[in-house]
Chain A
Amino acid sequence: MRALTATIMAELRKLWTLWYLPLTTALTWGAALVVARTLNDGRHGSLPPADILRTVPDYVQVGLVVIGVLAVTTEYTSRQIAVTLTCAPRRTVVAAAKVVALTVSAAVVALGAMLLARATIPTDWTAAEVTVVLLTSAYLVAASLISAALGLLLRSLVATLTVSLVLLVVVPPVVATLTDAAAFLPSAAGAALYGVVGSSARLGPAGGGGVLLAWTLGLWGAAAATLERRDA
């Protein structure tokens, strides 16, 4: 347990000393503000506040994907992974610590983005909006974790970014019109979780949450097993 706590602290420190993390956070928060303001300026038939909040993740998720991808792949481009595994030889502990550290960090970035987006809306908070902010943030954290798991599996920055962006950003809206199976893609499951109404998000909040959790846990299971067995 002490090993795990120490490794989590080490992973957190590694994450937050990377120069790109504050930069990506700032850009993500800026994007959240701009997108929410744009959707809020009345030219779009004034969307209800909750729907504005449900649209923001489509645009800011890229920031969370970048954080997840870089959190893992920088270890490989700089070969820091060798030092990491020397300091913490039990690889499942390293994988678990990475999950915790990234979840905490991504939650700060995601929640910050959603709160900033909400801050552009002049009306008072409703209970439904609190739920939407929490669930959209949960989806954004999951998107970050999914990208990081892909990073651990693929190890290359370009490959991981390509797969993550295609899986989470490019393909879902296109496939949504083609097949009902698109509802099981992570972003569609996330949309169902935070209450988007539509055919691509037909799983409902509980179903969407379950599918999103399955993606996250499945990919992290594969990533941890790979880290454990493969020559780093």
Chain B
Amino acid sequence: MIRTLAAETRKLLSLPAVWVAGVLAIGLPVALAAANASMLRRALDTGRTGGLLSTSTLDEGFGQLTFGIVGIIVLAVVAVSSEYARPLERAGSSRQVLTTMVAQPRRGVLVSAKLLVVVLSTVLLAAVAIPITLYASQQGLGPYATDFSGVLVPRAAGATAYWVCTAMLAFGLTALTRSGVVPMVLLITNASMVSVSLLLAQVTPLAKYLPDLAAYPSFMTEHPMADHLSPAVGLVVCGIWSAVTITAGAASYILRDA
């Protein structure tokens, strides 16, 4: 298991896409938090808040963390899909997954190690991204910054849990479909403002059980739905989504002909 973990870590870190994913996961929320905070401060200073979607500073910083999951999705997708791809430099040779499975024939161990490496990388990226994003946001807002003391640790933990859930969803979907298309389209689009979740939130109250809308209350105070889940229940619901997807993905990885 230790050797497989080391191998999976090395494989993951040698993918150029993973470094891009890291830059996206940290860079997107930090840049957006800094830009949004300074603009919000200017607007609040001058009183010209007409063009803004929201003048609330309650979720500044934590709100921008939702964009960091673009990087996390890329990370989780390439960890699985790169094994099935035939990149240019290996044109004509077999897919990496065959080599991997020859080296470690116990697929349960293999998929667990791969998932563990992805989850740990996600936690690591969150541990870097969250403090920098919050710092950038608080610096930008200056006197208008919300005081997070007291709620900082639980909300940071909630945001990290949301990132981990998303990583597991992306991982499971990629293992199921052996391609990054479905998880990327579904999850990255949903991380944007034209998300299917937000549309469904206007149609049915059941939308509060969608993974992203369920996880939001654990790190944000504002929510697109008036009637939303409590932070704890939300995280459990999000966890169930990931657990089901991961189980399906792992079963497909273990049982299906590679």
Residues of A bordering B, CB below 8 Å: 20, 35, 38, 41, 43-44, 58-59, 62, 66, 70, 76-79, 82, 155-159, 161-162, 165-166, 169-170, 173-174, 177-179, 199
Q: Which of the residues B74, B86, B188, B193 comes within 8 Å of A173, measured between beta carbons?
A: B193
Contacts A77-B85, A177-B36 given; does A62 touch B202 at CB 8 Å: no
CB distance from B60 to the nearest CB of A (A): 13
Residues B192 and A169 in contact, CB atoms below 8 Å apart: yes
- Measured in the bound complex, the distance between the Cα atoms of B24 and A152 in whole Å is 22
CB distance from A109 to the nearest CB of B (A): 15
Report whether over half of chain B's contact residues are helix, strand or loop; otherwise say mixed. helix
Residues of B bordering A, CB below 8 Å: 17, 20, 24, 32, 35-36, 39, 51-53, 67, 70, 74, 77-78, 81, 85-88, 91-92, 179-181, 184-185, 188-189, 191-194, 196, 199, 202-203
- Measured in the bound complex, the distance between the Cα atoms of B92 and A70 in whole Å is 21
- Measured in the bound complex, the distance between the Cα atoms of B53 and A199 in whole Å is 12
> B residues within 8 A CB of A199?
51
> B residues within 8 A CB of A82?
91
Closest-by-CB residue of A relative to B189 is A62
Q: Which of the residues B52, B91, B181 comes within 8 Å of A79, measured between beta carbons?
A: B91
> A residues within 8 A CB of B87?
156
- Measured in the bound complex, the distance between the Cα atoms of B182 and A62 in whole Å is 11
Extra pairs beyond A38-B203, A82-B91, A158-B17 (4, CB < 8 Å) = A35-B199, A38-B202, A161-B181, A170-B191
Q: Which of the residues A35, A159, A165, A174 comes within 8 Å of B185, measured between beta carbons?
A: A165
Could you jot down 18 A-B contacts, CB within 8 Å? A38-B203, A44-B202, A59-B194, A62-B185, A78-B86, A157-B85, A158-B81, A161-B180, A161-B181, A161-B184, A162-B20, A162-B70, A162-B188, A165-B70, A169-B194, A170-B67, A170-B191, A174-B67
CB distance from A67 to the nearest CB of B (A): 11
Closest-by-CB residue of A relative to B191 is A170
- Measured in the bound complex, the distance between the Cα atoms of B81 and A77 in whole Å is 12
CB distance from A144 to the nearest CB of B (A): 14
> B residues within 8 A CB of A177?
36, 39, 51-53
CB distance from B58 to the nearest CB of A (A): 17
> B residues within 8 A CB of A35?
199
Closest-by-CB residue of B relative to A166 is B70
Contacts A38-B199, A178-B39 given; does A162 touch B184 at CB 8 Å: yes
Residues A162 and B185 in contact, CB atoms below 8 Å apart: no
CB distance from A157 to the nearest CB of B (A): 6
> A residues within 8 A CB of B24?
162, 166
Residues A158 and B184 in contact, CB atoms below 8 Å apart: yes
Contacts A158-B78, A165-B184 given; does A173 touch B194 at CB 8 Å: yes
Closest-by-CB residue of A relative to B38 is A178
- Measured in the bound complex, the distance between the Cα atoms of B88 and A156 in whole Å is 9
- Measured in the bound complex, the distance between the Cα atoms of B196 and A82 in whole Å is 38
CB distance from A63 to the nearest CB of B (A): 9
- Measured in the bound complex, the distance between the Cα atoms of B72 and A162 in whole Å is 11
Residues A174 and B32 in contact, CB atoms below 8 Å apart: yes
> A residues within 8 A CB of B35?
178-179
CB distance from B210 to the nearest CB of A (A): 15
- Measured in the bound complex, the distance between the Cα atoms of B169 and A124 in whole Å is 44
> B residues within 8 A CB of A20?
181
Q: Which of the residues A79, A161, A173, A179 comes within 8 Å of B192, measured between beta carbons?
A: A173
Contacts A44-B202, A77-B85, A177-B36 given; does A158 touch B194 at CB 8 Å: no
| A158, A165, A166: residue with the most chain B Cβ atoms closer than 10 Å | A158
